[in-house]
Amino acid sequence: MIFQRESGILLHPTSLPSKFGIGDLGKEAYAFVDFLAQAGQRLWQMLPLGPVGFGESPYQSFSAFAGNALLISIEDLLADGLLQNSDVEGYPQLDARKVQFMEVKKFKEKILRRAYDTFRLRSRPSDYDEFINSNSAWLEDYTLFMAVKSRFNLKPWCEWDGDISKRKPEALVSYKKELSDEIGYQEFLQYYFFKQWYALKRYANSKNIKLIGDLPIFISNDSSDAWAKRELFEIDENGYPTKVAGVPPDFFSETGQYWGNPHYRWDVMAQDEYRWWRERFEMLMKMVDIIRIDHFRGFEAYWEIEGSEKTAERGRWVKAPGAKLFATIEQYLDKLPIIVEDLGIITDEVVRLKEAFGFPGMKILQFTFGRGSEERFLPHFYEENSVVYTGTHDNDTTTGWYEQALLEQPDAVDEMKRYFGIKGQPSAVEMCRLFIEEAFKCKSNTAVIPLQDVLCLGTEARMNIPSTIGGNWEWRYEKHQLTKETADFLRELSIKYNRNSL
């Protein structure tokens, strides 16, 4: 699919300002949409929106379908009368510049349960049962999963009591009865997440802003999907993965990246024409306007590691269904607006798969320089059907990256200076602004800039360091940082380089 010539910003909702310690779907999300419109931007890209599990990573979620209850706006619950001001008076003052996940979970959970206590005493909203019924394919399993998980002190499902871990029918009946109130609470959270989400989407669309959502290729083993549909995954009878995902050793890691997600049993999935995948795409397309597929190369061939291994060093490449999967999705859902993450070591087969379906791939300006005489990697060779970024959530900010390059990659710095026709030594902020302008200027139909780069922030604003746990996914901006000058800068670039379609 050929996209219009547009631009936008990458920002996960957790990074929005909020007095409750984490960004949410309340007034500051709407204010950010207003900023995008003021700045002449047409796209808001974000990371996966599911409930986060181990390490707080959006790419390790408890569900491929559910929403993250931590994004529910407390202020909207106050406006709906489910909370009183006295209910939130004891909420602590948390760091405005990063998410303190442990504290946020502790206090926000307490407030959400208070809201549920009020909700139970009321008549159900007119659309509540409709929400429950229309989402029953995933919601029933997810709410029971979270209720049982709470019952077993948040342990992974493979460590639960054997009968419920193995979903024996009598155990399912017993736990549904015993945990009916907790199941109701989990339904309540999902109802309000999606109620607030769809309201935000309608507002963004009314401002001519399209939302780009993220679809991780793999799911967490500790998820309702793996627990309820284990026949679709490489999981043994006790709930442990037998074959897991990752990438082999490369320039960035001597031992590769060991992700630990269970691989799919593609042969089983093919038997019902990939129904689970079709439902997943269909659900996400209700939530967003464009889908970005993470680790696209894994749909052509994936690195398979034995579950007993501790690193990604030993594994093998295994063919995935590739064209058969995407042709089936198109057959059922028509052609979808999809962006694919085709970074890293990409084979000719992956390129052919991408081109066969017309999916635009990703170009990262930080990866462009330092390649010597290979001009084919420079921005003026980018194809139109692509999406250009200054960096991604897995990279350092452009300012931080450039400051590091000054110390460790002088050849790359010299190459940048020659490319931009610069004499002398530009500051990190100057180079960051040049990168942004180059993204807007190049032929790629879509340009997306992380907000950290829009604000020219340093390494302290980095979102994630791959293969590390702790300190990731925490960054937040403060309201005063979105200035009229910044909006004017982006709007002027959008007009100058024909990225403002209105």
* Each residue's pLDDT tens digit, 424-474: 899 999 999 999 999 999 999 999 999 999 999 999 999 999 878 889 999
Tell me the sheet residues that pair with 319.
Answer: 301
> Tell me, what DSSP letter sits at residue 235?
B
Residue 294 is among the residues annotated as catalytic for this protein: yes
Q: Within a 10 A sphere around the Cβ of 98, how many other Cβ atoms?
A: 18
Residue numbers of the domain that contains 138: 6-496
Read off the pLDDT band of 113 (50, 70, 90).
very high
Extract the tokens encoding 78. Answer: 């106050």
Separation CA 283–CA 295 (nearest Å): 20
146 belongs to a structural domain = yes
Residue 176 has pLDDT above 60, yes or no: yes
270 belongs to a structural domain = yes
- Any idea which residue has 């990866």 for tokens? 367
Contacts of 19 (CB under 8 A, 6+ apart): 91, 93
Tell me the sheet residues that pair with 160.
Answer: none
Give pTM, 2 decimals: 0.96
CATH code assigned at 366: 3.20.20.80
| pLDDT reported for residue 369 | 84
| pLDDT reported for residue 373 | 47
501 belongs to a structural domain = no
Hey, is 10 helix, strand or coil?
Answer: strand
Residue 485 is among the residues annotated as catalytic for this protein: no
> Tell me, what DSSP letter sits at residue 445?
S
Tell me the sheet residues that pair with 446.
Answer: 6, 387
Asked whether the beta carbons of 91 and 107 are under 8 A apart, the reply is: yes
> Tell me, what DSSP letter sits at residue 46?
-
- Identified catalytic residue from 34, 289, 294, 313: 294
1 belongs to a structural domain = no
Residue 394 is among the residues annotated as catalytic for this protein: yes
- Identified catalytic residue from 103, 279, 394, 492: 394
- DSSP tally for the chain: helices H, then strands E: 19, 12
Extract the tokens encoding 189. Answer: 């959270």
Asked whether the beta carbons of 61 and 219 are under 8 A apart, the reply is: yes
| Nearest in space to 65 (alpha carbons), one of 185, 190, 162, 184 | 190
Asked whether the beta carbons of 292 and 45 are under 8 A apart, the reply is: yes
> Tell me, what DSSP letter sits at residue 299?
G
Extract the tokens encoding 441. Answer: 């200027």
Number of domains within the chain: 1
**Mean of all residue pLDDT scores within the chain:** 95
289 belongs to a structural domain = yes
The DSSP string of 165-231 is: HTT-HHHHHHHHHHTHHHHHHHHHHHHHHHHHHHHHHHHHHHTT-EEEEEE-SS--SSSHHHHH-GG
- Identified catalytic residue from 87, 300, 341, 474: 341
Asked whether the beta carbons of 144 and 174 are under 8 A apart, the reply is: no
* Each residue's pLDDT tens digit, 248-257: 987 767 888 8
Residue 311 has pLDDT above 60, yes or no: yes
Residue 226 has pLDDT above 60, yes or no: yes
Angle at 452 (CA atoms; ends 370, 396), nearest 5 degrees: 35
